[in-house]
Structure formats: C-alpha cells, structure tokens
Structure 1
Amino acid sequence: MRLIALETATEACSAALWIDGDLRWRLERAAARRHGELVLEQVQRLLAEAGLAPAQLDAVAVGRGPGAFTGVRLGLGVAQGLAFATGIPVVPVSTLAALAQQGADRGAREVLAVLDARMREVYWSLLHAGPDGLVTAAAESLSAPQGVRVDWGAGPRLALGSGLSAHPELVRWLGLSEPEADATALPCAREVAVLGAAAHARGEAVPPEQARPVYLRDRVAEPSRAPAAPGRGGGE
C-alpha cells in the first residue's frame, strides 16, 4: 500500500510516505503561518524521491487533532484536496495517538500524550501499548493541568509532549521521574503514517468529505474544575 501522511497540528510540520512498510519522512519546525508552504513541498519531495505520482497513492492519512486550530484545519484541507484530486480516501488519525506512538516505540507500555492547548489548558490522553497496538485508556480531553488524572497501569510509563514544557509541574503531580517525561516530543507524520496504514487495513478510511477535525475546545463551555493536585487515581 502507498500512503502519504501529514501532521500540522503543532509547530512541527511534517509529511511521511509509507510504501508497503517502507517509511520515509520529513520534519521541520516552523511558525504555523508557513505550514501550508512547507507541507506541500514535503509531499512533492517525498513523491519525487520515490518516483511516484499522486494518482499512484492509495490513501492520505492526516493528523486530525486536537491541536492548534489553524494547523489542524490546514492539514485536513491539504489532505482533502489531495484526496479529491486523485480519488483516494482519507484516514484521519488522532494527533495525540500519533504522539503516544513515539512513546510505545521507545518501549513504554503506559503513554500519556499531553499537548499545550494555550489558555492555561492542555490536550491529553492516556494510551496502553500492547501487542496489537495502542489502546485508549483515558479518552482525549481538554482540561486545566490540574485536571490531568491518570490511572497508571503496569509496565514502563512515559509522558511526552509540549504540555509538559508549558506546565512542568505536571511531572511532579503525576509521580513521574525525569526519565519518564519528555517535554520536547511533538507529533510527527511518521507515526501518523504507521497508525494510518493500520487503520486503512482495518477499513477505517473515509471519503474526503467525511474527514472531520477534532478540536475538543468546541465542546467545552468552560475550563474544567479539578482538585488542586492530580494524583495517580482514577477520575471523579
């Protein structure tokens, strides 16, 4: 299968090309206002290097959020435009799951993906990594840092994402040691491609007009109210 993947939901802009398990990718960190220019260049370079035309692709995977409004909209728009032009489907992939996949690839069994959402809030989700891939343990949420409540399971654990750099107190609140936290990690099209290929194989691709962004903030009337210090126990 030949799949192009895009991820533009954060300050990191990237594209990846999956060809029957062979993965090539490009990552650049830049201001969001350049994402449109950069991601199109990345797609063109990847296809040219592989000697492929867009019409030879089977699908386009895209990070569908949550993340920056402009970045999520841009990535989805580029993916839909490519899909409409070539007659291929879109595979929407959770940006948080793509980030969590990095933790799974590093050997973690319990992965907390947490992105800075501005306005003193974070996007976050807890996922378990197993032999069949990632399984969501705590649904994607938008909350104040105090609202991040994690019930850690057994096995190595890792929290990663820009939410940790914006709110470093989370590491202490969640009972993590320094090696169990990576505040520099950002979502990448490499993992969007891996998860997108698996989702495509499960029949989860959709027509481009059915691909939808996930913002989370649209569904929140006001910031979450939570206890002053999150612990390791379950939710309320």
Structure 2
Amino acid sequence: MKVLAFDCATGPTSVALWRDGTVAARADDARPQGQAESLVPLIGLVLQQAGLAPAGVDRIAVTLGPGSFTGVRIALAAARGLGLAVGRPVFGRSSLEVMAAGLPPAECPTLVAIDARRGEIYGQLFAPDGRPLSVLAAVALPEIGAAGLLPAGPLRVAGSGAALVAGASGRTDLDLAAVAAPDAAVLARLVAGAAAADADPAPEPIYLRAPDARLPAA
C-alpha cells in the first residue's frame, strides 16, 4: 500500500509517502504561511525521493481541518485535483484526529486543542485507545469545562491551544504534550489502514465557524 499524504491545515506544510508499512519519504516546511507556494513542490520532492510517479500511489490522504482557512482550502484543492488526475481515491481526516494518533500511548484521556483565536479553541477529547469521546467543536475558553472537555482525573492536553486550556482551566495537574500540528506521516499511516469505503472523491473541509476575513461591503 502506497499512500501520499499531506497537511497544511494549521500552518506548517507536511508531506509524506507511506509504503508497505513504513515512511518511504517525507518533506516539511515549518513556515506558518506560504502553503500555496510550498505544497506542490514538496509533493513533487517526496514522490521523487520515493521513486514514484503520481499515478504510482494507491491512495491520497489530506487533513480536512479545522485550522487555517487558507491552508485547508489549498490542501483540499490539491488532493481533489491530484486524485482526479491520476484516478486514485482521496481520504480525509480531521486535524485533531491526526494529532491525537501521533501522540505516544497514554493511560488517560487526551484533549487535543488548536488555538482558534478570538478566545476559542478547536477541541476534541480522545480516549487512551484513540476513540473520540466528544464531538469536534469550537469552544470559548471559559466554556471548556461546561463542554465536557475537562474530565476529572489525569488528563493530557496537546496542540497549539494546550497552554490556553491550562491557563483558562486553572488546573495545575494537566500533562501538556508537545505536538503543535498534524504530521503527514501519521495521516498516511491512518489512511493505509482505512477501509476502501472511507474514500471520498470530494472531501469537504471542517471549518466549524466563519472565516475571520470579510469581503468589503459593496
């Protein structure tokens, strides 16, 4: 199974090629902007490193968001276009699911939180085995507890919003994990093990709220 996966939903751009159970090639651009310029060249570089033409992959994987509106749109457009061009299925996963799957095993639940600005996070709670324990939602920082994202007892918090969660909750017992963005290699691994029926020829973005930017009034 050969899976080409890419992510630029939260800022940095990550591309990986998964082949027969291992990462065959990867490339990353840590810049928080410039995804439109970096994504396609990085895809080309990864394919070159792996010795594959685009039609040589079996599946294409992309993060659907939430995150940067621009980054999500760029990645989805690339996935749809490439899938159509080479006739390969496209699989989408949420940014938070990929981040949770990339963490080391833990015996406690994990809250993955992305800084959504405006005093909010994009958050979702996951069980130790990776099952979602809550819906993916945009939550105001003062309402995290009421939203059921801060269960009593040991809790790991990961993502760019982890420090915000710790500050808003006032809890000093949280285990803050150092993962700030989805990893394309983790995304590729998830999609390599997915059922064929999970493919979506036109995956939809996960935005959760309207964009910050507004068109000028007529």
TM-score normalised by L of structure 1 = 0.79
Answer whether contact 1:116 1:123 (CA < 8 A) is retained. yes
SS at match of 1:14: strand
Q: Does the Cα contact within 8 Å between 2:4 and 2:18 map onto a contact in 1?
A: yes
- Alignment match, 1:205: 199
For residue 160 of structure 1, report the CA deviation from its aligned partner: 0.7
Q: 1:217 to 1:190 in 2, by over 3 A?
A: same
- CA positional deviation for 1:187: 1.6
Q: How does 1:85-164 map to 2 (within 5 A)?
A: 85-103=85-103, 105-107=104-106, 109-130=108-129, 134-149=130-145, 150=149, 152=151, 157-164=155-162
Checking the alignment, whether the CA contact within 8 Å between 1:165 and 1:184 is kept in structure 2 is: no
Instruction: Give the deviation of 1:30 after TM superposition.
Output: 0.8
Distance 2:108 2:197 in 1: 26
Deviation at 1:202, TM superposition (A): 5.3
* 1:176 equivalent in structure 2: 173
State the 1:165 CA deviation: 3.9
Corresponding residue number in structure 1 for 2:73? 73
1:160-190 residue CA offsets vs partner (Å, 9 max, x unmatched) = 11112455504634x534xx10365222212
Query: Secondary structure, in 3 states, of the residue corresponding to 1:31?
Result: coil
Matched residue type, 2:92: P
1:51-70 equivalences under 5 Å are 51-70=51-70
Offset at residue 106 of structure 1 (A): 4.5
Structure 2 segments unaligned to the other structure (5+ residues)? 211-218
Identity %: 33
The residue type equivalent to 1:186 in the other structure is: A
The CA deviation at 1:77 is: 0.6
Q: Which runs of 5+ in 1 are unaligned?
A: 219-236
Correspondence for 1:4? 4
- How many Å separate the matches in 2 of 1:146 and 1:181? 19
Amino acid at match of 1:172: G
User: Retained in 2: the 8 A contact 1:3–1:61?
Assistant: yes
Q: C-alpha distance in 2, partners of 1:153/1:194?
A: 32
Give TM-score scaled by structure 2 length: 0.86
Q: What amino acid is the match of 2:98?
A: A
Q: Secondary structure at the match of 1:11?
A: coil
| Count of matched residue positions in the alignment of Structure 1 and Structure 2 | 207
Query: Against the structure 1 CA distance between its residues 109 and 204, is the aligned structure 2 distance closer, same or farther, given a 3 Å change threshold?
Result: farther
d(CA) in 2 for partners of 1:18, 1:153: 38
- What CA distance in whole angstroms lies between the structure 1 residues aligned with 2:75 and 2:127? 27
Q: Which position in structure 1 is the counterpart of 2:29?
A: 28
Residue type matched to 2:112 in 1?
Answer: A
Cα 1:85/1:117, change in 2 over 3 Å: same
